[in-house]
Chain A
Amino acid sequence: MNRARIFLTGVGGQGTLTATTLLARTALAAGLPVTAGEIHGMAQRGGVVESTILIGGYKSPVISKGEADVLLGFELLETLRALPMLKRGGVVVGNSESVQPVGVCLGRECYPPLDAVLETARGFAARVVMVPCISLAEQAGTAKAANMVLIAAAAACGALPFGVDALIRSVEKYLKPKIVPLNLKALELGAAAAATGQAA
């Protein structure tokens, strides 16, 4: 992989932007030209957070519909919503667990099942990998590390231009020492789950 557009989507508070920065730094450390972008502002307060990482010499941080080589979905519904960003033959690595939006919490709207994502992606994406990020992160010590579980899964299944070892080095280098062991554990669980999460 020498050029890749990676689209990341999640919910405010899930650590999507932290993961984006960590991935971009990891790419830079691997000597790859990288550009990343993020849209927040009104997107905080539990709204959708979208970000991008473009590797291999792109200048623009924007990804249009049908352009993403990789879709990293930190939340199931948002993964489904972002599927139009994916390019034919692209890879989806997503969290199989949900963060309910308010309309669903209040019983006004229905949350789509995991199968809806798989069905939609089938035949279009080359590969779909779904991992229970929140449960695994809780296993590692806190639900907050779900973002690490996801990126480790992505790296482990070859969706990123670097491996889990590069992520481990970044976590050790860029996160506060106090939270490093927990995040390393999350990486480990995410990488291990990647193999079992293959769905399409």
Chain B
Amino acid sequence: MGKELLTAAAGETLLLLGNEAIARGALEGGVRFVTCYPGTPSSEVPDTFFRLSKDGPYYFEYSVNEKVALEVAGGATLAGLPALVTMKHVGVNVAADPLMTLAYVTAPGGLILLSADDPGCHSSQNEQDNRIYARLGGLPCFEPATAQECKDMARDALLLSRSLEAPVLLRTTTRVNHVRGPVTFGALPDTPAAKLFAKNPAKYVPLPASARPMHVRLLERLEKAREAAETSPYNTERGTGEVGFIASGAARNYLADVLEEDGLEGTVRVLDLGMSYPLPENRIAEFLGKCRKVVIVEELEPVLENEIRALAQKRGISVEIIGKGPHLPRLGEYATVNVRAAVNATLGRETAAVETLSVPVDLPKRPPNLCAGCPHRAAYYAVREVFGDEAVYSSDIGCYTLGFLPPFRAADFLLCMGSSISAGAGFARASGKPVVAFIGDSTFFHSGITGLIDAVAYNHDILIVILDNRTTAMTGHQPNPGVDTTIFGENPNPVDLSALIRACGITPVKVNPLNHKATIAALTEFAGQSGPRVLIAEYPCPIHARRVGQAKKTPPARVTGDPAACLTVRDTLACPAFAMVEGVFTINAEQCDGCMYCVQLSADIKPGKKEAR
């Protein structure tokens, strides 16, 4: 989606990705400050803002991590600007510290925190339910379900935030972020009147004496938000009858489709909760009062279920409440299948078995793989060659996590962003085993550096390999503080990674991982040493290099000698450009990136001729 997001007038309808719709909604809400740390499924929101940043009426940054993103935007909202901060669910854990207090300190300019949750772990290490953060921190919470709602709720959440001066949580899930649907635009506002900051430490500096009254005021703001939820147009009721369903988030979609497809629409009561926290208690109590049985349909944790049970008890409403159970599990994503089963079970209807085709179970798998020509593959190859199975490999979050697959098996444990150095250090200290920690450049800036400082301070025995591909590849090649080039050209203020590490007390060794000999030599030397050591394996991700127009054109490699002699390279390097055609090893010229790494490993593979491309 191009400039239309900045220019399209009210009333136009465009097909948008949920994440693009959130960007437009924030713009309609008057957003002037956007910070983030990229993470699937949130990334297209900041990527959209980044792409449009030359023409957009806002400041934008890819912050060094989520905590910093929230803190920078927190400062901006205190200065009066409407702000948006985006991250994936686990990112909120990183930002949790400032988040809990920002709700005390307030967001005068308005601030929405987008938390993109990932039920089903499509691209995440866990499936935590961040609606609980709304409860923990005291943040009003919106849960859109469609692309149109992504747009509308982003706008209205920002406006509510600005009027209450309370940070608001916009909580999405993968299927909402990555839904694509028609979105009818609203108007873009003029520049919002600046709210001037007036110094008032009792209001903005949470010392114990001031924090106590701040907490009182936070609860008062939540009561106001509750009133907004009672009348919110996003909380709607439909249907009749004595069986009711209360649904939130993407679960609303599954319920609506089942009722419609099975001809049940209108025969049961439905309460859709789009603004789900604070709970619109009166509205829900009134709904419960009309029903004999109520089913709570929500993905992941029984958040609404528990609150609604408590509400019914408090108000003395006798109604059967059905929540998590065999049809509505506490984990994974929902779909029409299980919601249909829950609806039918409630209504005493039979669920017809769905007839499906079965396919052979032993089909070849297609795991994600490091791309052909990826410098990480070369780095893993060399580390394996020197350290083999003796060392324990501490991994981190990025493309290079894929190094856990065979043939490298270069990931023995992983906790979270930035943990490879610190967890590796702890493991080394506790076990006395040699540990190699892998971390990307972006991840190192994110939160690896604190682990490095710890490793230096306590002399942990660990070899840190920084896989510096000059970008944040996993989430879509976003710039990080160290990059040289972005889609807009040269980065005027790159942070010097080597100098930074030197300042921590270690002189790193830098190699081009695609140079096999040099990398092996550096690793061999490190293998004989102890204490914290850093190898920077620096070579740009070829996909990124292509995008920013810096790729070197190299012809593909070719098998010129005995293909049978290449099988060891095939099995130990496993470049996706390798192929077996009728049992004979060959290199797929279409797939080969021309990195020339395999050429260094086998006398039977040679560089192709220049004119081959």
Contact = CB atoms under 8 A, between A and B. Distances in A.
B574 A106 contact: yes
Interface string B363-375: 1111111110000
A17 B371 CA distance: 19
B336 A64 contact: yes
Interface stretch (B253-261, B545-553, B598-606): B253-261
Nearest to B584: A107
Interface in A61-86: 61-62, 64-67, 77-78, 80-81, 83-86
B580 A106 contact: yes
A60 B364 contact: no
A164 to B, nearest CB: 20
B45 interface: no
Nearest to A103: B364
B335 interface: yes
Contacts of A139: none
Nearest to B353: A66
Contacts of B402: 45
B179 A37 contact: yes
A156 interface: no
A91 to B, nearest CB: 13
B185 to A, nearest CB: 14
Interface stretch (B209-217, B220-228, B354-362, B507-515): B354-362
Interface string B16-46: 0000000000000000000000001100000
B272 to A, nearest CB: 11
Contacts of B180: 20-21, 24, 35-38, 61
Contacts of B438: none
A156 to B, nearest CB: 23
A57 interface: yes
A45 B41 CA distance: 16
Chain A: interface size category: 35 or more
A44 B178 CA distance: 15
A97 B252 CA distance: 39
A126 interface: no
A134 to B, nearest CB: 10
Interface stretch (A110-118, A147-155, A179-187, A191-199): A110-118
Given A25-B15, A83-B359, A124-B357, A57 B368 contact: no
A37 B371 CA distance: 25
Interface in B266-319: none
A59 B366 contact: no
A60 B253 contact: yes
Interface in B524-581: 570-571, 574, 576, 578-580
B52 to A, nearest CB: 18
A64 B339 CA distance: 11
Contacts of A85: 356
Contacts of A24: 15, 180
A133 interface: no
A154 to B, nearest CB: 18
A102 to B, nearest CB: 5
A58 interface: yes
Nearest to A35: B181
Contacts of B257: 58-60
B578 to A, nearest CB: 5
A105 B579 contact: yes
B146 interface: yes
A25 B418 CA distance: 40
Contacts of A33: 182
Nearest to B402: A45
Interface in A84-113: 84-86, 88, 100-107, 109-112
Chain B: interface size category: 35 or more
B365 A34 contact: no
A102 B356 contact: no
B145 A34 contact: no
B364 A43 contact: no
Given A21-B180, A37-B180, A86-B357, A60 B336 contact: yes
B178 A116 contact: no
A124 B354 CA distance: 13
A77 B337 contact: no
B238 interface: no
Nearest to B399: A45
B366 A78 contact: yes
Given A39-B174, A45-B371, A60-B257, A66 B363 contact: no
B454 to A, nearest CB: 30
Nearest to A26: B15
B409 to A, nearest CB: 15
B240 interface: no
B123 interface: yes
B164 to A, nearest CB: 30
Contacts of B578: 105-106
A62 B335 contact: yes
Interface in A146-177: none
Contacts of B250: 60
A200 interface: no
A35 B336 CA distance: 15
B201 interface: no
A66 B182 CA distance: 26
Nearest to A25: B15
B127 interface: no
A104 B364 contact: yes
B590 interface: yes
Nearest to A123: B357
A62 B366 contact: no
Contacts of A111: 364
Given A88-B355, A106-B580, A107-B583, A112 B366 contact: no
Contacts of A43: 122-123, 368
Contacts of A59: 145-146, 252-253, 256-257
21 contacts: A20-B180, A35-B180, A37-B178, A41-B40, A41-B41, A46-B369, A47-B369, A61-B253, A64-B335, A64-B337, A65-B337, A66-B354, A67-B354, A77-B364, A102-B366, A102-B369, A102-B576, A104-B364, A116-B360, A120-B357, A121-B357
